[in-house]
Structure 1
Amino acid sequence: MSTAKAGKKPRERGEIEELPSGSLRVKVYAGIDPLTGRRLYLTETVPPGKSARKTAEKARIRFINQVDEQRNPKTKANVNRLMDRVNIRLDFILTQAAKPVAIRTAGGAHPFVIAHRRRPPRRRELK
């Protein structure tokens, strides 16, 4: 790590910006979202008041500690998006790894049952 020159303060991580309403927005960089490839920020809005600046600074320090300890969310994707991603992978595995074969039942082919390969035919014993 580089050492800071005498008289210079180290660069602060995160920022606190004032909004037109008087509220404060705390924003800390948390890395790259692996799903979208976009930058990921932890944000919080602090309502205006006497101790707003102090509360915002506490939130900034809390976010920095979360990022340092790697306890921050790694993506902003919701559950539906993650499930879609899992379903796409599952569909790919089922179609590419083994050709799915519908098992025939008494009422016809059952659409939800998939066998990865056909069973070998039973051998009849010689009499």
Structure 2
Amino acid sequence: TEIEVRSLDDENKSEYVEGYALKFERWSERLGWFKEIISRGALDEADMSNVIALFNHKIDYPLARNTVSTGAGSLQLTVDAIGLKFRFEPTDTTYGQDLMKNLRAGVINQCSFSFSLDHSG
């Protein structure tokens, strides 16, 4: 889905990224040889207690985490009627700065999500 860069009204002119990680009841773009649609109740029992925003799904490029409450590295998640909305302020890393530059230039304008399944029972 499309994402945007926005600025906070604070002294530091902090920027954050906002968008929807997923939208309910809408077909995705073609993902190789398949497309997907996410049901409205798909997140009802999801464990979102430790969610990480990553650059290009790479665990070694963390941008933010929902266990960080405010400031750089913070990630807020909200499930609403549209889907899973996110807002994060990336950490001041080289790849975080690169992401923000590419977002402002329009080179990057979408995001995707991933998840893992609980195999314990």
The answer, yes or no, to whether TM exceeds 0.5 is: no
Q: Which has the higher contact order (CA 8 A, sep 6+)?
A: 2
What TM-score, normalized to structure 2? 0.30
Higher helix share: 1
